[in-house]
Structure 1
């Protein structure tokens, strides 16, 4: 499009008014300036857009075609302006969040409840996915925010810590007692027990695998599970020894439904927080970050 947008605006207003003087009043510019802009537009297009008479102007067939397109364009711009005004008036925006099922259920939901109470008109999309996918989509700026364990490599992302978590191994008292009866109390639980872990694609699993490798722990029998909730439930029915997040099962530990398996060296703690791309300047993200602080 070689023409200045203002020329199309002038053409549009003249076509609507059917009169140059009326369009001049609408646009707050002189009639000669309007006539000049229309002539320039016609010259650049190589077409006559209006027929002139003492009663005003009338669109030519070609002018009618152009008017329909400019009407769609300016109507779309007007709708956009109204939408922005509505966003400002009602705190409406679109916040896209990436999070794993576990972190969504146990950590994100309480934050969202309070946030929605304060900003009830905010549109929120939750992408339930692995931490690796969330980090990738943050880098590509396809989502605004991710609730993740603090990555070892920041990848140019900003990170706001929320809480520390501790990975531990737990089981039921009865499972542990039966294991001792069968294998002896000096048994190595990791060699003789049924060790339940998240599947190998999970970032938590990578963290635990790294710990076990560093401490020369080699489980002989591993049951892989897709979600933390399933791990907890399998542990509670006495299916084996599960590696879970301590903060998620504090109730079970307190009432002795589950007991913690002692480790010579504890698994080092992780930090959970909100990650975002610092170049993201959307109103929705700014609003949520202000809410966090």
Structure 2
């Protein structure tokens, strides 16, 4: 396109009004400026676009051909402006959230349920992966916000604390009874059992590995599992000892389905919360969500 949009706007307005004087009033520019713009456009396309009549100007055959496409373009622009205006009025937007499947189920869903009820025109996309992967997506601007365990390095990341989580080891009663029958003492359960942990790419797993190493607990037999729900299910049926988040098995602990393994050295609690980049201006949808979770109870 050799001409800028304003030239086609002038052409479109003159064609609609059929009169340079009327077009000048509508566009708030002088008649000579309109005539000059039309002349430059005609020189650019290599043909006459208007012919003069007693009432003003009329499109030539070539002008009519160009007008068909120009009018379609401006109608599309007008439609886009109207849709944008309606979307702003309705609060239409898109929010991309990163979260692990575990935190999504147990922590994020209650927030989303109420947020969607209050903001039905904001669509939600959720990427489920580990905290490490969520931080990478944040860094690459592929998500707006993440629900994560608090990382050690918060460079360019704003972290809003949500709650503390506590990692514990649990097993079914029958599994512990069998260990006891084999003469396994309470302080050697972890070393003598099949230990079920999240896979090594998970921040929780890295945290637990550090705990085991610091306390010189050597694991003989372990199973890596990608999903905490599966860890809990396997523990319930007696596959082994699972490392889980205490809040997520509270009902199992209360009804006796699972038993907490006593530890000589407790695992320190961790913080989880919402995180977003400080180097990028929040979109309207993200700003709405941030305001929501800060006031939600």
Normalising by structure 1, report the TM-score.
0.90
Provide the C-alpha distance between the structure 2 equivalents of 1:162 and 1:239, rounded to a whole number of angstroms.
33
Question: Does structure 2 retain, via aligned residues, the 8 Å contact 1:144–1:280?
Answer: no
Structure 2 CA distance for aligned equivalents of residues 233 and 10 of structure 1: 70
Task: Kindly indicate whether residue 232 of structure 2 is the aligned counterpart of residue 228 of structure 1.
Answer: no
Number of corresponding residues? 293
Match of 2:174 in 1: 174
1:112-191 aligned within 5 A: 112-185=112-185, 188-191=188-191
1:290 corresponds to 2:291: yes
Q: Which residue of 1 aligns with 2:57?
A: 57
Equivalent positions of 1:1-293 (< 5 A) are: 3-43=3-43, 48-60=48-60, 63-64=63-64, 66-185=66-185, 188-278=188-278, 279-293=280-294
In 2 relative to 1, CA 74–282 (structure 1 residues): closer, same or farther, beyond 3 Å? farther
Instruction: Let me know the Cα RMSD of the aligned residues.
Output: 2.3
Tell me how far 1:131 sits from its aligned partner. 2.2
Is the Cα contact below 8 Å between 1:93 and 1:123 reproduced in 2? yes
Could you say if the C-alpha distance between residues 49 and 132 of structure 1 is closer, same or farther in structure 2, counting changes exceeding 3 Å? farther
- Distance in 2 of aligned mates of 1:260 and 1:186: 11
SS of the residue corresponding to residue 220 of structure 2 reads coil
Q: Which runs of 5 or more residues in structure 2 are unaligned?
A: none
Matches of 1:184 and 1:78, distance apart in 2: 77
How far residue 30 of structure 1 moved from its aligned partner, in angstroms, is: 3.5
Does the C-alpha gap of structure 1 residues 282 and 69 become closer, same or farther in structure 2, counting only changes over 3 Å? Answer: farther
Q: CA deviation at 1:47?
A: 5.1
Q: Can you give the 5+ residue segments of structure 1 that lack an aligned partner in the other structure?
A: none
TM-score under structure 2 length normalisation: 0.89
| Contact 1:165 1:270 (C-alpha < 8 Å) held by counterparts | yes
Distance 1:209 1:15, change over 3 A: farther
Question: Using a 3 Å threshold, how does the CA distance of structure 1 residues 155 and 69 change in structure 2: closer, same or farther?
Answer: farther
